[in-house]
Amino acid sequence: MTEQLSADDWTREGLKVLAKRGFTALKADPLAKAMGVSRGSFYWHFADLAAFHAAILKSWRDIAAEQIIADIEADRSGDPLRALLRRTFNAKLDLERAVRNWAAFDPAAQAAVRAIDRRRLDYIEDMLARRGLAQATAQARAQILYWTFLGFALSGPALPATRLEVLLDEISSMVSESAG
């Protein structure tokens, strides 16, 4: 590798490794070897492994919440809830599972998961409130919808696309119905 790596290059590689091999693979030496550089390149950008882990978790938050929310908010062509459901339930969720596994062993990862869970829940709740649901109803349905997503994310193999579309339609209608 002839060009100098940036901190973002390291972080992107770290996210790939995390999704593929788990948090125990997030070490300077093996990453440097895989990227064809010396360990010095790693330490040029990160004071230590904890700083690298913090950058990975921040990047995950940006990818797994902030970018999705920004995209949904920017696209006013359709139903935002439907767009959110499609985007999240059709996503490759290896990284989601890997970070949640990491959180079972690491307080910093656990804090990042709690923060992203809160961010996502607040966004869904706000989205449902904008649809006219009362605050308490929006809050309850946001929690149920989020639990549904987490169950899906942590479960087995992906569903066939046609089956998933039927389920997303049902989820959307259940969450959107006005309280009666």
Burial string for 72-98 (b: 16+ CB within 10 Å, else e) reads: beeeeeeebbebbbbebbeeebebbeb
160 within domain boundaries? yes
148 within domain boundaries? yes
For the chain, what is the radius of gyration of the CA atoms?
A: 19
Q: Which residue range forms the structural domain that includes residue 83?
A: 7-176
128: nearest Cα among 71, 63, 84, 89: 84
Which one-letter amino acid corresponds to residue 141?
R
What pLDDT is attached to residue 179? 55
Structure token pair of residue 61: 């938050």
In sequence order, what are the residues at sequence separation of 6 or more whose Cβ sits closer than 8 angstroms to the Cβ of residue 150?
none
Structure token pair of residue 63: 């990818």
User: What are the DSSP calls for the chain, one per residue?
Assistant: --SPPPHHHHHHHHHHHHHHH-GGG--HHHHHHHHTS-HHHHHHH-SSHHHHHHHHHHHHHIIIIIHHHHHHHH--SS-HHHHHHHHHHTS--HHHHHHHHHHTT-HHHHHHHHHHHHHHHHHHHHHHHHTT--HHHHHHHHHHHHHHHHHHHHSSSPPPHHHHHHHHHHHHHHHHSPP-
52 within domain boundaries? yes
Reported as a single tens digit per residue, the pLDDT across 25-41 is 999 999 999 999 988 98
2 within domain boundaries? no
Give how many domains the chain has, as a whole number. 1
1 within domain boundaries? no
What pLDDT is attached to residue 3? 60
89 within domain boundaries? yes
- pLDDT less than 50: residues of the chain: 1-2
What pLDDT is attached to residue 85? 93
What pLDDT is attached to residue 59? 97
The label of the residue with tokens 């030496």 reads 29
172 within domain boundaries? yes
| CATH number of the domain encompassing residue 142 | 1.10.357.10
